[in-house]
Amino acid sequence: MTNTALVVGASGVVGAATAEVLSQAGWPVLGLARRPATQSGVAALAGDLLDPSSLREALAGAAPTHVFIATWLRQETEAENIRVNAAMVRNLFDALRASGSVRHVALVTGLKHYLGPFESYGKGTLPQTPFREDQGRLDVENFYYAQEDEVFAAAARDGFAWSVHRPHTIIGKAVGNAMNMGTTLAVYASICKTTGRPFRFPGSETQWRSLTDMTDARLLARHMLWATETPAAANQDFNVVNGDVFRWSWMWERIAAWFELEAEPFDGVVRPLEEQMADDATVWRDIAARRGLAEPDLGRLASPWHTDADLGRPIEVVTDMSKSRRMGFALYQPTDDAFYALFERLRSDRLIL
């Protein structure tokens, strides 16, 4: 049987990378999003996961064999995150059930599985690092758990296999994405370079000095493809990171050098980007107009709140990949190179300086 992929959230950081990887591998790819972007090799479907009639219309006639879920909607409270994001996954499977074609579903969540939701992020009693899949769930409500439960229930009902993929902070290109550290730092560096402001690390001393890791969106996409093609990976949950570890005291200098900036020495004071960039919407609009940049809306490029959540954590966060390695997934991506590749793409597309 010919494989056909449905990428849910195809306009986001993970979805766009996944659609690209699958298309390059020769798969027919359907890309579902509320506002689909044009992407080579991807048939765009416009549908709202919170509107069942919209989904039925978007998916009418579609018969995907593999579904890749890489989307969520942020709400004001975790209770609302659970209600809304669980409904999105549930509505998707209700719309797909009639086709009876689905054989594997890959769900992207993340390390909030171990760190807790935004309301209690990195607080209380947490598992020891490096995080391992067998550590299980925290005793706290979490929309990632709700998404998983919807996948498990649909799999039991409709007879497909599943895999869950938990990346650390993702490096990848998308405009209008809610969680996008790489582009946020690139925009921040561009502003610092243009205005002469100091390029200051915004996070905690723990993050500055401790080990951490990250996940390239392209590697995550290849991990999901690997899981669909590896029988032993069926019905399993996986951590997914690049394979290297670093300290921000090292990475910050490398990012500064790429932008030809001098990194201001870190003095131990947390200076959140949300505060540093609070008045930068007008600054960025002026820079975009003067330098001919493609996106003048700072809010569509930068997500300071999310970058602050990651860089301000008071604990070391590293991730174990042994489960995937033992099953044969051997890809590796140096994280500094992942940043550089993203910056090159953003500059090529006239999104940063």
66-69 and 5-8 beta bridge pairing: parallel
Q: How far apart are CA 108 and CA 110, in angstroms?
A: 7
Q: Residue 309 corresponds to which tokens in the numbers above?
A: 């959540």
b/e code 311-326 from CB counts within 10 Å (16+ = b): bbbeebbebbbebbee
Q: What is the CA radius of gyration of the chain?
A: 20
Nearest to 220 by CA among 299, 133, 306, 335: 335
C-alpha torsion sign, points 248, 126, 239, 82: negative
Q: Which amino acid, 202?
A: P
Q: Where are the beta strands (DSSP E) in the chain?
A: 5-8, 29-33, 42-46, 66-69, 104-108, 161-167, 170-171, 211-212, 215-216, 236-240, 246-247
Residues known to be catalytic = 112, 144
Q: How far apart are CA 7 and CA 68, in angstroms?
A: 5
The C-alpha torsion from 304 through 270 and 131 to 71, rounded to 10°, is -10
Are 136 and 145 within 8 A, CB to CB? Answer: no
Q: How far apart are CA 111 and CA 122, in angstroms?
A: 10
Q: List Cβ neighbours of 159 (8 Å cut-off, separation of 6 or more).
A: none
